[in-house]
Structure 1
Amino acid sequence: MESLGSRIKQLRLRAKLNKAALARNVGVSDVTISYWESGAIKQIGHERLVALAEALDCSLATLLEGDSAPQMLTLHHEGPLPWEQVQSTALTVPEHLPLKANWKAPCMMVTPAPGSDFAPAAPGDLLLLGPTRVFHKAGLYLVEQDGKLQLKQLSKANSDMTIQAVLLAHWKAA
């Protein structure tokens, strides 16, 4: 599996940018770019990831997963869950992602469907969901309540809703 650092370098070269130009576009030093590319810095905050994707003229999914990134699944209030959709592909959590939960099982990268309301996520944002039926710890969960899927902040299990997934990471669209 290709590392995030080598992917940043590959995308930088494809965009015909030197480290200094990329650093200016992202708002960091060229030394930071070198550390990212070498893997000396493994975790990058979501604001910097979004800025990197924009500067490299690629999607956040391509930056995180490479050109073989799974097709982006859309999250709807009704209908099949993203991992039940025909084109779904589970992925293992890349080690360079800062997650809100310790997660070792396969997960899904999705985006809210246009016209949907999955606050705090908006259409175009990327969500990393860990399919589960159990409450793990306080956080945002994808739950089914009254026949509709919603993102809800849970501090404990709630009997009037069915847990479908835990939100592992959320990246705002640029």
Structure 2
Amino acid sequence: MESLGSRIKQLRLRAKLNKAALARNVGVSDVTISYWESGAIKQIGHERLVALAEALDCSLATLLEGNSAPLLPTLNNEGPLPWEQVQSTSLTVPEHLPLKANWKAPCMMVTPGPDTNFAPAKPGDLLLLGPTQVFHKAGQYLVEKDGQLQLTQLSKAANDVAIQAVVLGHWKSA
């Protein structure tokens, strides 16, 4: 599996940028670019990931998963859950993503489908979902309420909703 650092380097070369030019576009030093490409720095904040994708003229999914990334399952208010979709592929939480959750189980990267309402996420954004049916700690959860899936901020367990997943991360599209 290709590392994030090698993808950054490949995409930088494809964009015909040297490290200094990419660094200026992202708002970091060229030494930071070198550290990212070598893997010396493994975690990159989501603002920097979005800026990198924009500077490298690629999608966030391509930056994070490469060109071989499968089609992302879509998250819809009704219909099959992402892990029930044919093209779904579970993954372990990538170490380069800055997550506050310590999630060991398989998870899924998904995007809200068109004409859906999963505020604050919009179609094109990326969500990392960890399937669960229990409340773990305060955070955003994908819940089923009145036959509709929605993202809900929960600070304690709620008896009136069926929890489907915990949102481990949310990245806005570039």
Structure 1 stretch displaced more, 42-51 or 91-100: 91-100
Q: Deviations over 1:73-129 (max 9, x none)?
A: 111100000110111111111111111311111111111112211111111111110
Partner of 1:21: 21
1:152 corresponds to which letter in structure 2? T
**Counterpart contact for 1:132–1:166, Cα < 8 Å:** yes
Find the aligned partners of 1:104 and 1:7 in 2 and give their Cα distance. 25
Q: Distance in 2 between matches of 1:92 and 1:16?
A: 32
Shift of 1:70: 2.1
> Structure 2: which amino acid aligns with 1:86?
V
CA distance in 2, matches of 1:26, 1:115: 31
Partner of 1:123: 123
CA contact (8 A) 2:59 2:173 kept: no
Per the TM alignment, residue 2 of structure 1 is displaced from its structure 2 partner at its CA by 2.1
Return the letter of the residue paired with 2:111: T
CA distance in 2, matches of 1:15, 1:30: 16
Distance across 1 between alignment mates of 2:32 and 2:166: 32
AA of the residue aligned to 1:149: L
The root-mean-square deviation of aligned C-alpha atoms, in Å, is 1.1
Q: Secondary structure of the equivalent of 2:173?
A: coil
SS across alignment from 1:119: coil
Unaligned runs of 5+ in 2: none
Say if 2:156 is the partner of 1:159: no
- The equivalent residue for 1:97 is 97
Q: Which moved more, 1:141-150 or 1:65-74?
A: 65-74
The total of aligned residue pairs comes to 174
- In 2, are the aligned partners of 1:100 and 1:167 still within 8 Å (CA)? no
Aligned positions of 1:22-171 closer than 5 A: 22-171=22-171
Which 4+ runs in 1 deviate beyond 6 A?
A: none
Q: What is the TM-score when the length of structure 2 is the normalising length?
A: 0.96
Name stretches of at least 5 consecutive residues in structure 1 with no aligned partner.
none
TM-score (norm 1): 0.96
Contact 2:71-2:87 at 8 Å conserved across structures: yes
